[in-house]
Amino acid sequence: MKSRQDLNVPVYLDYNATTPVAPEVVAVMTPYWRDRFYNPSATYPEAMTVRMAVEAARSDLATLLGTTSGALVFTGGGTESDNWALRAGLAYWQGERRRILISAVEHPAVAKTAQALRAVGAEVVTIPVNEQGVIRLDALDAVLNNQVALVSVMCANNEIGTIQPIAQVARRAHAVGALVHTDAAQAVGKIPLDVQSLDVDLLTVAGHKLYAPKGIGALFIRPGLDFPPLLTGGGQESGARSGTENTPSVVGLGMAARLAQTWLAQEGPTRQAQLRDGLENRLLAALPDCHIFGREGPRLPNTLALAVPGWPGAKLLSACPTLRAGTGSACHHPEDAGAPTLRAMGVIPDLARGLIRISLGRETTQADIETAAEALIRAAQSLNT
């Protein structure tokens, strides 16, 4: 029997970039484009049925996150949620507090938004990480004071999969009265999350990272927090984000949350980690100089970040034409310092430029892992000859 590699069938291992929309999600969305097209803010029976579907989806997502429906506002995606959290998190204090703390490994949706807020008087402090990509709590403690408006630390890193100690960050930040936000775009649906245990005030969800469509997300806002609205207008989303609801995508996100609950309950992360570890072990056995990043820290079960010394990640992947994976940087210029997360970890530029990110999905099979291993090993060995 021929392998997928022999048949030139692409093997997709870039699920941290985006996931396909699950068939069950497509199925529940479809009626809301035509047969159930009604505006959920209208008052006649058909529209009220659509409103019920929106609220059912909100309830499903709330259950996944361990919170109540009223704590969730649907947004246009992860970037919008991050922007709202930071911009409104600063405005919340009405000038009384101006310091924003972020980790050195944040997604640009957080990092660039924080930097943009300097224009309105924010003081932005970046907290370093250790060699595993985990935030240094001692460095956080050193800059926490009663001037801190918001602390934003991602739940799981998009480049190497490192899981951050969010509950410990929240405890420290709350001790000085600061708000706490976590970008959980990469974590929701991959590992169990409970906002009560995390003790955060704000949490970002991105639908397309958990088998829902692109263009839909959510922001968890701690109940009782008088948080400034994102958009004003007709008063949708309890006045927090006005605008006619994107009903098909909202319903799709709700179904995606239900599927994630089932997958997590059936030990999906454990099986996924076994596949990831199998690939990791094969690569290390065949390529002894291969570096695995974040291996000694807590990682997402689906993420493997590696580099082969001497070879930019993009070049190595180009020698694997059927493998679909990610790199930290597509730039090949000598002055390129490599993947931002690796740079923050103190990895030298030559190695940081070599980052290849393998990220598994629920559909990933043992055959996919074997194909990826063969392709990467063959490519690395051929490049070294």
Known catalytic residues are 331
- Asked if 304 and 280 count as a contact pair (C-beta separation under 8 A), the reply is yes
Tokens of 55: 């609220």
Residues 6+ apart with CB under 8 A from 216: 74, 75, 76, 77, 207, 208, 246, 249, 250, 252, 253
- List b or e across 241-278, with b for residues whose CB sees 16 or more CB atoms inside 10 angstroms: beeebbbbbbbbbbbbbbbbbebbeeebbeebbebbee
Dihedral Cα 184, 187, 192, 193, nearest 10 deg: -10
CA-CA distance, 217 to 202, in Å (whole number)? Answer: 13
With beta carbons less than 8 A apart as the criterion, state whether 355 and 174 touch: no
Q: Is the dihedral of CA 208, 213, 215, 220 positive or negative?
A: negative
Write out the two tokens for 158. Answer: 């998009």
Find, among 155, 182, 162, 217, the residue nearest to 101 by Cα.
Answer: 182
